[in-house]
Amino acid sequence: MEARLNLLANPLTGKLVKHLVAANKVVSDAGIPLATQELVRIRASQINGCGACLDMHTKDAAHAGETPTRLHLIACWREAKVFTEAERAALELTEQGTRIADAAGGVPDAVWENAAKHYDEDQLIALVALIALINTFNRLNVMVQQPAGDYQVGMFG
C-alpha cells in the first residue's frame, strides 16, 4: 500500500507536525502518566482505524514497559480488569471525545465528572488536548492512507 501523499517528505507537513509535536510536549508535561497517554492514543486510533498511529503507539507503549495483556485488551477495556479507575475514566473520555459527532450533546456530564474525580484541572485540559491531537494525527494518516508496520521506536525524535 502506498500513501496518497508523502507526508514525511513534504515541507508543509514538517511545519504542521512541528507545531502538533510541540503541543503534544505541553500535554506530556501535565502530569498524566505515560501509560495513560498511550492508552488514550491507542484507543482513539482504534476507533478511527488509524493503522499508522496504532503501529507507533503500541510499539512505543511496549517499549515503555506496557504489558501485552493490557495492550490487547484496550479495545474491550470495559470488560477488562487490568485498567485502573483513572485509566478507565480517561478511556471513556477518549471514546466520547473521539465520537463527538455521534452524540448530539457532545461528551456527557457523567463522563466528564468521572474524569474530574481522577484528574485535576490541568490534567483534564491535557487529556482533552491529547484526545484532540491524536484525532488530528489519525485523520491526517487515514485521509492519506498512510501505511502501517514500518515504525521503529524513536524514529521521529
Distance CA 106, CA 24 (A): 23
Structural domain span for residue 58? 11-144
Q: Does the residue 102 lie in any domain? A: yes
**Residue 132 near residue 97 (C-beta atoms within 8 A):** yes
CATH code at 82?
1.20.1290.10
Q: Does the residue 42 lie in any domain? A: yes
Q: One digit per residue, pLDDT tens: the chain, 157 residues?
A: 789 988 878 889 889 988 998 999 999 999 999 999 999 999 999 999 999 999 999 999 999 999 999 999 999 999 999 999 999 999 999 999 999 988 777 899 999 999 999 999 999 999 999 999 999 999 999 999 999 999 999 888 6
Distance CA 86, CA 115 (A): 7
**Global pTM value:** 0.94
Q: Does the residue 125 lie in any domain? A: yes
Identify residue 81 by its one-letter amino acid code.
K
Number of domains making up the chain: 1
